[in-house]
Amino acid sequence: EDQVTQSPEALRLQEGESSSLNCSYTVSGLRGLFWYRQDPGKGPEFLFTLYSAGEEKEKERLKATLTKKESFLHITAPKPEDSATYLCAVRPGTYKYIFGTGTRLKVLA
Amino acid sequence: KAGVTQTPRYLIKTRGQQVTLSCSPISGHRSVSWYQQTPGQGLQFLFEYFSETQRNKGNFPGRFSGRQFSNSRSEMNVSTLELGDSALYLCASSLGSRGGSYNEQFFGPGTRLTVL
Interatomic CA distance for residues A69 and A51, integer angstroms? 12
User: Residue B97 has what pLDDT?
Assistant: 66
The pLDDT value given to residue B103: 74
A94 interaction partners in chain B (CB closer than 8 Å): 56
pLDDT tens profile A2-44: 889 999 999 999 999 999 999 999 988 888 899 999 999 899 9
pLDDT score of B96: 73
Q: Average pLDDT for residues B56-78, to the nearest whole number? A: 95
DSSP state of A94: S
Chain B positions touching A98 (Cβ under 8 A) are 45
Q: What is the mean pLDDT of residues B50-70?
A: 93
**Chain A residues in contact with B101 (beta carbon < 8 A):** 49
pLDDT > 70 in chain A, percent: 97
Beta carbons of A98 and B58 less than 8 angstroms apart: no
Average pLDDT over residues B76-98: 92
Q: What percent of chain A has pLDDT over 90?
A: 81
Nearest to A34 by CA among A106, A82, A80, A92: A92
- Please check whether residue A46 is in contact with residue B108, taking contact to mean a CB–CB distance below 8 angstroms: no
Q: What is the predicted pLDDT for the residue at B98?
A: 58
Contact A75, A18 (CB under 8 A): yes
Within chain B, strands assigned E span 5-7, 10-13, 19-24, 31-38, 42-50, 53-57, 64-68, 74-78, 87-94, 106-107, 111-115
Other CB atoms within a 10 A radius of the CB of residue B23 amount to 27
CB contact under 8 A, B56 and A95: yes
Q: Which residue has the higher pLDDT, A87 or B100?
A: A87
| A78 or A32, greater pLDDT | A78
Share of chain B above pLDDT 90, in %: 78
What's the mean pLDDT when you consider all of chain B?
Answer: 92
Q: How confident is the model at residue B104 (pLDDT cuts 50, 70, 90)?
A: confident
| Other Cβ atoms within 10 Å of A50 Cβ, number | 20
Let me know: does A90 contact A102? Beta carbons within 8 Å.
Answer: no
Indicate yes or no: CB of A100 within 8 angstroms of CB of B42: yes
